[in-house]
Amino acid sequence: MCSPEHFAVEYAINPWMDVTTPVDRDLAVKQWDRLRETLVGLGHEVHLLTPEHGLPDMVYAANGAFTVDGSVYGARFKHEQRAAEAAAHHAFYESQGWRFVAPSETNEGEGDFAYVPEAHGGLILAGHGFRTEIPAHAEAQEALGRPVVSLRLIDPRFYHLDVALAAIDDANVVYFPGAFSAASQRVLTQLFPDAVIADDEDAMAFGLNLVSDGANVVLNSEATRLAGKLKAAGYTPVPVELAELKKGGGSVKCCIAELRH
């Protein structure tokens, strides 16, 4: 995770960003701290990346890389405003001794990649349409040695896979069908017949931008309907308020890069 101490909405690179809407940075830090404390309280270890001046979106740490079984496929951001973030993530993984594969293709890390380790022997789900380019899917497959399933995103509000879909345990996912092309919806139905299906209201509340340890699902507190669906499916929803960070187009998952050793 990376503190939002330099967070601001100084440019607009997704439909949620509005440079005329003021950001309360102190509140953003307070809400982010609560998210970090929630993860620690659930028994997880949190590593911190040092925020850098001039990189207001560094708080969205999920976009900096994608890890599977101790290997890291690095990010290469689409927009120049975020490009320098990739080096900070690279340095972190190298300092931790991870095997790092530098990308040649445009991709935004866990923003557009999700890993479901026990689904069909271990699947990487990969989004494209707005940020990550399709050639990056093949590059990720070569880097990580896991089959990659490409999913086409069609609604600019759901510009990253992680605002439309999330793994909720080692074999299942939750997703919003309307974010995907008709063909990708059919693929998801085939792969995950027991998936939890979110509706438009859940998605617009950033409910899909969640993290789960297989039992506890940490999600945006505004996504009350989705919390109910997850509870009915046997999970424990853990709501967290992140209204300030939503102004940049991200929520719980965007703030968390999961380290899969």
pLDDT in tens, 230-251: 999 999 999 999 999 999 999 9
The pLDDT value recorded for residue 250 is: 97
* Buried residues in 176-197 as b, exposed as e (16+ CB within 10 A): bbebbeeebbebbeebbeebbe
In a domain, 204, yes or no: yes
The pLDDT value recorded for residue 223 is: 98
Query: What domain range includes position 148?
Result: 25-255
pLDDT in tens, 113-164: 999 999 999 999 999 999 999 999 999 999 999 999 999 999 999 999 999 9
- Beta-carbon neighbour count of residue 95 at 10 Å? 9
Residue 183 pLDDT class (50, 70, 90 cuts)? very high
The pLDDT value recorded for residue 116 is: 98
In a domain, 241, yes or no: yes
- Annotated catalytic residue within 2, 89, 90, 254: 254
84: alpha, beta or left, given left = phi > 0 and alpha = psi -120 to 50?
A: alpha
Tell how far CA 94 is from the center of its chain: 21
The pLDDT value recorded for residue 187 is: 98
Q: Report CA-CA distances (Å) from 30 to 71, 233, 242, 248.
A: 32, 31, 9, 16
**Residue 160 three-state SS:** coil
Q: Are 216 and 234 in contact (CB under 8 A)?
A: no
Alpha-carbon distance 50 to 53, whole Å? 10
Closest CA relative to residue 244, chosen from 11, 25, 6:
25
Backbone angles phi, psi at 216, to 5 degrees: -100, 130
Tell how far CA 149 is from the center of its chain: 17
In a domain, 6, yes or no: no
pLDDT in tens, 2-61: 999 999 999 998 999 999 999 999 999 999 999 999 999 999 999 999 999 999 999 999
The pLDDT value recorded for residue 102 is: 98
In a domain, 206, yes or no: yes
* Residue 254 appears among annotated catalytic residues: yes
In a domain, 34, yes or no: yes
Domain count, the chain: 1
- Annotated catalytic residue within 47, 160, 255, 261: 160
Q: What is the CATH number of the domain that holds 35?
A: 3.75.10.10
In a domain, 202, yes or no: yes
Residue type at 74 in one-letter notation = G
Q: Are 100 and 74 in contact (CB under 8 A)?
A: yes
